[in-house]
């Protein structure tokens, strides 16, 4: 595949292989951009903004609606690409492609709701003769840097709102999963988006990332990825808007009155979706001691039923991690925890990039797998017997994206909702639930700002005040 620069699909002699992590086959290649390509993307994006900011709301919405229709009509094609280049099974990939249709549709709808308000100038003496309002305007060039784990829908979460707001975009997709992103850009151009409005540049992040992030022509960086990369970007960006979603450790409290079947099924799915490479995947299960043994038994039994292997087979429950090196890292973390006294209840094995769904208990606080985001198919069980202590334990790590609690007690639910230190609390769901239109983001090291289409639009626009002094009224 090619990259889109200055309205043209271009290739380069220097290529990057896109590898299927299941069998290490080469699916396709993409160009490895150079510094000249970075400058082309930046200068073209500035010119593209002159086009995008003059597009009517109607035109922006129609383009996004049509792009959604194109994706919907080719859902299996998009799903197959997602599954081949990444870790998701074909069934998981179909769900992501369907969510992308919803994301683009909602972006179109939200483009019509970028609203301002009148301002009561006469609320302070001296303003009696003044009338006015504020409206929101696009900020300019948005740099979107996207991750591998949702290679289509998380791209849509940046492109959809940016285009809906009237911005131009430079998209830098994940190096290992660029194909879904390129197909989405193709759909947008086919839907009528002027190609100058979007630049899609493929390449090695360490090579082209810094000059893109630090350039003053970029007015916002929207990044989804790891904490260390986020810190690096924040240090390089300069004076511009930054939106970041940096992951979590997703604690779930299972209280003594929980619906056990619902909690087990939800949390097994939440732990191992996309081979655990999911920023809202369940990592820590804090289970009331009165039901701990029964929960553990059912959880382990269901986990053992998971079939791992070929992503394209309909009966596969979980595919490989994104690379063998990532799989080796998780294997190492499990062994370290085991060496320090943790008990592996099931799993722990690895074959190539395939890691068995792994459940641990008695994980010590100084084990890496306890205090770092694992981003792999492992989950830790901890018995608890006091709600305040469970909430304190959930809040104890430097992340705060989503948390969850299973309970039938409304007072327990409300207490958790208000005291869990995070961007969202799921009640009687695992943390692995997200509506694309909800405000999505976290506190502490989990990020800055909020995604979710209405909320992304707020981040990608600025308010402008208009005040009339009317002495004749």
Taking the C-alpha atoms of residue 428 and residue 464, their distance in angstroms, rounded to an integer, is 42
State the residue range of the domain holding 110: 3-247+445-466
Q: Is residue 198 part of a domain?
A: yes
The pLDDT value recorded for residue 247 is 84
Query: 284 and 177: one domain?
Result: no
Query: 358 and 220: one domain?
Result: no
The pLDDT value recorded for residue 319 is 97
- Annotated catalytic residue 245: yes
The pLDDT value recorded for residue 202 is 98
Q: Which CATH number characterizes residue 317's domain?
A: 3.40.309.10
Q: Is residue 229 part of a domain?
A: yes
Cβ-count burial 301-340 (b if 16+ within 10 Å, e if not) = ebbeebebbbbbeeebbbbbbbbbebbebbbebbeebbeb
Q: Is residue 173 part of a domain?
A: yes
Query: 391 and 452: one domain?
Result: no
Query: 318 and 453: one domain?
Result: no
**Could you identify the residue written with the tokens 């084990």?**
367
The pLDDT value recorded for residue 11 is 97
CA-based radius of gyration for the chain: 23
Query: 126 and 219: one domain?
Result: yes
Q: Which of 100, 106, 267, 279 is catalytic?
A: 279
- Angle between helical axes of 179-190 and 75-85 (0-180°, round to 10): 150
Q: Is residue 89 part of a domain?
A: yes
Query: 170 and 283: one domain?
Result: no
**Could you identify the residue written with the tokens 């909800």?**
438
Q: Taking the alpha carbons of 95, 157, 401, 412 in that order, is the dihedral positive or negative?
A: negative
Q: Which CATH number characterizes residue 456's domain?
A: 3.40.605.10
Query: 284 and 193: one domain?
Result: no
Query: 145 and 103: one domain?
Result: yes
Closest residue by Cα to residue 270 from 257, 286, 288, 283: 283
CA 200 to chain CA centroid, Å, is: 19
Query: 264 and 397: one domain?
Result: yes
Q: Which of 96, 110, 245, 373 is catalytic?
A: 245
Query: 164 and 143: one domain?
Result: yes
- Counted domains in the chain: 2
Give 465's strand partners: 134
Return the C-alpha torsion angle 146, 148, 149, 154, nearest 10. Answer: 20
Q: Is residue 162 part of a domain?
A: yes
- Annotated catalytic residue 419: no
Q: Is residue 471 part of a domain?
A: no
Closest residue by Cα to residue 114 from 463, 428, 468: 463
Query: 158 and 264: one domain?
Result: no
Residue 308 tokens, joined: 């791992």
Regions of the chain short of the pLDDT cut 50: none
The pLDDT value recorded for residue 372 is 96
Vertex 262: Cα angle to 309 and 350 (nearest 5): 25
Query: 230 and 267: one domain?
Result: no
Query: Do residues 167 and 458 touch, judged by C-beta distance below 8 A?
Result: no
Q: Is residue 473 part of a domain?
A: no
Q: Is residue 308 part of a domain?
A: yes
């Amino acid at each position: 595949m090619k990259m889109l620069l200055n309205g043209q699909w271009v290739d380069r002699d220097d290529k990057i292989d896109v590898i299927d992590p299941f069998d290490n086959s080469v699916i396709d290649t993409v160009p490895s951009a150079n510094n000249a390509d970075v400058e082309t993307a930046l200068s073209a994006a500035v010119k593209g903004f002159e086009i995008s900011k003059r597009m009517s709301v109607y035109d922006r919405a129609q383009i996004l609606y049509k792009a959604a229709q194109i994706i919907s009509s080719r859902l299996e094609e998009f799903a197959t690409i997602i599954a081949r280049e990444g870790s998701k099974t074909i069934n998981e990939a179909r769900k992501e492609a369907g969510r992308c249709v919803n994301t683009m549709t909602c972006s179109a709808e939200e483009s019509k709701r970028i609203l301002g308000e009148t301002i009561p100038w006469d609320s302070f003496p001296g303003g009696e003769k003044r009338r006015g309002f504020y409206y929101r305007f696009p900020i300019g060039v948005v740099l979107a840097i996207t991750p591998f784990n949702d290679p289509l829908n998380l791209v849509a979460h940046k492109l959809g709102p940016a285009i809906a707001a009237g911005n131009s975009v430079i998209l830098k997709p994940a190096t290992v999963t660029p194909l879904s992103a390129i197909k989405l850009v193709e759909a947008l151009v086919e839907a009528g988006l002027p190609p100058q409005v979007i630049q899609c540049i493929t390449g090695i992040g360490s090579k082209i990332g810094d000059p893109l992030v630090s350039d003053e022509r970029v007015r916002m960086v929207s990044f989804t990825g790891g904490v260390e990369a986020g810190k690096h970007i924040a240090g390089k960006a300069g004076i511009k808007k930054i939106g970041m979603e940096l992951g979590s450790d997703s604690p779930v409290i299972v209280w003594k009155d929980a619906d056990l079947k619902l909690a087990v099924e939800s949390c097994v799915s939440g732990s191992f979706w996309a081979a655990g490479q999911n920023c809202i995947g369940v990592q820590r299960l804090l289970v009331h001691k009165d039901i701990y043994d029964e929960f553990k038994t059912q959880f382990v039994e269901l986990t053992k039923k998971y079939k791992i292997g070929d992503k394209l087979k309909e009966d596969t429950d979980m595919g490989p991690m994104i690379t063998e090196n990532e799989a080796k890292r998780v294997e190492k973390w499990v062994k370290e925890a085991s060496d320090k006294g943790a008990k592996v209840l099931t799993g722990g094995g690895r074959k190539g990039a395939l890691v068995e769904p792994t459940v641990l208990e008695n994980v010590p606080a100084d084990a890496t797998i306890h205090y770092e985001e694992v981003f792999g198919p492992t989950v830790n069980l901890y018995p608890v017997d006091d709600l305040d202590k469970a909430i304190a334990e959930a809040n104890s790590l430097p992340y705060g994206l989503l948390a969850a609690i299973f309970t039938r007690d409304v007072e327990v639910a409300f207490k958790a909702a208000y005291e869990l230190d995070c961007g969202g609390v799921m009640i009687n769901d695992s943390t692995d639930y997200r509506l694309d239109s909800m405000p999505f983001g976290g506190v502490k090291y989990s990020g800055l700002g909020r995604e979710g289409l209405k909320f992304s639009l707020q981040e990608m626009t600025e308010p402008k005040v208009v005040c009339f002094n009317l002495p004749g009224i």
